[in-house]
Amino acid sequence: MAQGRVTIVDVASRAGVSKSAVSFALNGRPGLAEETRQRILDVAREMGWSPSQRGRSLAVSRAFAVGLILARAPELIGSDPFYPSFIAGAEAVLSKSGYSLLLQVLDDPAREADAYHRLATEGRVDGVFLSDMRHGDPRIAMLTELGLPAVTLNRSNISSPFPAVCLDDNAPGITVATRHLIELGHRRIAHVTGPVEFMHAVRRRDAWGAALADAGVPEGPVVVSDFTASGGAAATRELLSLEEPPTAIVYANDLMAMAGMVVAQDLGFPVPQRLSVTGFDDTELAAYVSPALTTVRTSPFAWGQHAAQTLLQFIDAGSAPDVELDSPELVIRTSTARPLEPPLT
């Protein structure tokens, strides 16, 4: 059974009307007697018919799908809890609107341009999410050229015709984390950042620097890392081998912070007694390591929801306002404390 799929003409003939009538009924268009509409819908339900997305897509020139392209090394994707939650949030609003999410994962960032190009020319999607914004991000020009709608997750540093949905774009999360350390009395505060090609990495770095400058605290050392546990461990080892090791480290994500804490304790820097540590993300595990990690709680789920909402609106209406999500909050746990020796003021 279920050999030949049931199509609109099957429904039409069963209901004794033309296929146009079925289409009208389905899409709630005016010009059909209420009774007829009802009968058609009843027959459709009874026959278990849903309109073929293929036919529909072709007719209305829409894919009813949006794309997300991840151009990160697979192992990095796995450890970062951001995407799954973001996707869950986006999916929640997409599926409600009959849209699907097309996910593409690239190991080789060089093939990224090609991937967007194909998504666009093949007409597989009506729009895309642009994540991990970079400096002078080339994807913006490319998508403009292709005529493919997009939404950027936070802003790039170049002007863009696409709406931006921002969460912690100016890194107030890092600002408040840094301030927290300053208030505790720290004066040698280091920073472990992500790859500098990412906007969010430099924004966080800048926010950290500005918070220090505001308080008249000299800028501590910075190590550029890569968001992985091994990178965080290496960066920490580097910082703690300095002649004057920092008394606190602001990490750009939880994973590096958690790995860093272990390294610190191994090197004879108990946390938080001799080293305070802050993370970023508030992954579930952060509350269950020892000491529990003080970190910045972001809400990727909400971010996904708003990004999807904005993207759909932009696709529909041709324009959509930027969205600024609530600043993330600092979750203070036990990985931060006053420094052992008070600073010489």
Q: Which segment (12-20, 147-155, 309-317, 319-327) binds DNA by CB under 7 A? A: 12-20
- Contact residues for 28 (Cβ-Cβ < 8 A; gap 6+): none
**Contacting residues toward a second copy, per CB under 8 A:** 2, 5, 48-55, 57-58, 61, 63, 65, 74-75, 77-85, 87-89, 91-92, 95, 100-105, 107, 115, 118, 121-124, 145-147, 228-230, 232-233, 255, 258-259, 262-263, 265-266, 283-285, 287-290, 300-301
On the CB side of 66, how many CA atoms lie within 13 Å of its CA?
28
Nearer to a second copy by Cβ, of 147 and 216: the residue is: 147
Q: Which segment (22-30, 86-94, 245-253, 273-281) binds DNA by CB under 7 A? A: 22-30
E-state strands within 238-336: 248-251, 276-278, 295-297, 323-324, 329-331
Q: Does 97 bind DNA (CB under 7 A)?
A: no
Nearer to a second copy by Cβ, of 175 and 236: the residue is: 236
Nearer to DNA by Cβ, of 55 and 321: the residue is: 55
- Which positions from 201 through 240 interact with DNA, judged by CB under 7 A? none
Q: Does 60 bind DNA (CB under 7 A)?
A: yes
Give the Cα separation of 271 and 278 in Å (integer).
Answer: 11
Of 1, 2, 28, 31, the one binding DNA by CB under 7 A: 31
Q: Does 345 bind DNA (CB under 7 A)?
A: no
Do residues 278 and 267 touch, judged by C-beta distance below 8 A?
Answer: no
Give the Cα separation of 312 and 296 in Å (integer).
Answer: 29
Do residues 315 and 275 touch, judged by C-beta distance below 8 A?
Answer: no
Give the Cα separation of 198 and 71 in Å (integer).
Answer: 12
Give the Cα separation of 163 and 127 in Å (integer).
Answer: 12
Q: Does 18 bind DNA (CB under 7 A)?
A: yes
Render 51-102 in DSSP notation, one character per residue.
--HHHHHHHHT--SEEEEEE-S-HHHHHH-SHHHHHHHHHHHHHHHTT-EEE
| Pairing of the two strands 127-130 and 276-278 | unpaired
Nearer to DNA by Cβ, of 51 and 81: the residue is: 51
**32 touches, from DNA, a second copy, none (C-beta below 5 to 8 Å by class):** DNA
What is the binding site for DNA (CB under 7 A)?
4-5, 7-9, 16-24, 26-27, 29, 31-33, 35-37, 49, 51-52, 54-56, 58-61
